[in-house]
Structure 1
Amino acid sequence: MSNAIRPHPFAIPEADLDDLRQRLARTRWPDKETVDDWSQGVPLARLRALADYWRDRHDWRATETRLNALEPSSTTIGGLDIHFLHIRSPEPDALPLVITHGWSGSSVENVKAARMLADPRAHGHDPADAFHVVLPSMPGFGLTGKPREPGWTPERIAHAWVELMRRLGYDGFVAQGGDWGYSITNELGGIGLPAVKAVHFNMLPVVEGMEARDAQEEEGLRRVRDFKENQSGYQLMQIQTPQTIAYALTESPVGQAAWLLDLYWRWMDHDGDPTDAVSMDDILDTVDWYWLTGTAGSSARIYWESMRTFKEREIAVPVAFSQFPRDLHMASRRWVQERYPTLMYYNEVEKGGHYPAMEQPEMFADELRKGFRSVR
């Protein structure tokens, strides 16, 4: 099969945008919640305001134009078209970097930080810290192909990323990820040299049963208990019956928006509403990324595919780690060091949550510059 890299711009048909606006206008709304907070889920008034903005003011075409300036391309690996953005640095000695998004995230959320990473000189930083940045979309997400059979696990995806980077001319590179991007980047770290020089994580899964020796570690275990007891409904659905939830999310744009907004509220670093941390347009760019590509079901299947079978790899290459304060998982330096003895960098960042590249792109970019500086 051809190894060709093919241009693959975003080009959503106007009919699909018209259909979206019509569906938003025809939304059949539920009753208002019986509480004055988010404890029953996304409040009705909050979602109606987002839907009104989406219908009347959000400009997907402007987003499309920005994305199409970043060499959106596809290549076929393992029988599946892998779609990616490629932000080349103007610096000749830039370090190749692949960043993997998670679910409920997107490659779109990494674009602001990727521009800063690719051209640090233009953003007031040392050009010696430049990266060539590749932002692939996982199988079943965005414009990457939708698998028609099981088997696209984090392990398989990681090996596809190695091949993708090779085809782009990068025989050696570094990798970054959180959420499902953590799982894939963990596998990349396990693959290691000569392809993978080092990895950076912005999340480490904390699990019940880990020993807590201080207040930070106690808080890490508290967050895990709270997730299990109060926040894991979406995860159980996508592990057990992703096809069932796909019907509702594929039919209703408001349903798709609520499914994602609920998690943004839980895990972003904000003062009561996700739009304290990011703009409505930032949120809707990712919601559009799922809605306009019809990937509610195919993206959810990563949970069914891998959640109960994924095993963390031992990593021999250097590991860097950044702990953002409002992330779902809070991992101490000790916990990270025990998991990854090759830890070369650990930092607790002052702001940000589970989506740091969207919430705090400058801080996120700076963490990657510092985290990978010693492996250049």
Structure 2
Amino acid sequence: MNKKYLKGAAPVLVLALGFGVVQVMSAAKPAPEKKEETQRLVSLLYTEAREQAVHLAVDTQGEVRPRTEIDLTPQVAGRIVAISDSFAEGAGFEPGETLIQLDDADYRLALARAEAGVAAAEVVLLQARAAAAIKRQQWQAANPGREPTPLQVNRPQVAEAEAELRSAKAELADAQLNLERTRIKLPFRGRVIRRDVGLGQYVTASTVLGRAFATDRVEVRLPLTDFQLQELDLPMGFVASDRNPGPQVTLSARVGRDQRQWQGRIVRTQAAVDQQTRLIYAVAEVNDPYGEGASDGVPLAVGLFVSAEAEGVRERRALVLPRDALRSADKVYVVDEDNRLDIRTVEVVSTSEERVVIASGLADGERVVTSTIANAVDGMEVQPITQLAQNLSLQ
């Protein structure tokens, strides 16, 4: 029985002995060395802020409006017998071109009667002057050396005949003018906005025939702040003159797939501050926007919304940075002397697609981050990498 017991316990003893050997060997093996984890710094591109003498650009925007826009109304009544092809929506017309022709038969008859009235008045005046001459001769023959009274030589009759002739000529001029007014025209080159009448329609002097605007020049009403007004050196109530024609302004807008630009000039400013917006409005004009003033054949069309940029005339010292350096609207990331990130709030006075001008909140020579950074934390340690200097002069 003891042999059977020993025979069954032998495998257990072997396993226990092997486990013990493994534990001894593991205990005798030296422990692995622990490596300290090092923090990997974020590499950032930076540029040094440099103070420069700059002329700040004034950016604003507005809608193109016609300088002259009117409702077309007749001055006489009549039936429309002809309408020019130029009097259609969007069509252009020349100064003095007949746009609408009214029936002029009645006005021609009135003109003929007025001409007859003038002729009759001229005959009456000739008769009155002849009778007055005869009366004067008779008086001088009967009363030599004495001066007759006006009534004795028919002076009142002559004056009455002269007045009748003047009245007849005035009626003739009125008849000629009314006949001319049956041809409805405008004294300027322009475009038709809309047409409200049709062929055969009877119109009176109060009937609106349509609406048109002049194309000799257009206006853009531009809102400006007090600061922008000072940059342009424009006083309130400014009106352009030969000595001071006003600052130039570049108007731009996207037409189709292309960005277009037109050149104009600020010709006047309001003399009061707008009570709702607290802004001051300036008016820029562009000459011949559908002709020589067009941008490669693209006119500065009425109703177009445009951006406007005018260069300031005052020189100032300011810090200029690449546009990529500005975060949000007024934040920049500065790398301090300890290579730690300083999220700074600055005063921005001008921005463009390429650069930003800082008035305060930043010192000359400070390192400003220009590369993108995710999850920026104030005070985090970074690895700054210098960026090649760029020419950011605004002059």
Fold similarity call, TM over 0.5: no
Larger Rg: 2
User: Going by fraction, where is helix more abundant, 1 or 2?
Assistant: 1
Give the TM-score range, shorter chain.
Answer: under 0.3
User: Going by fraction, where is strand more abundant, 1 or 2?
Assistant: 2
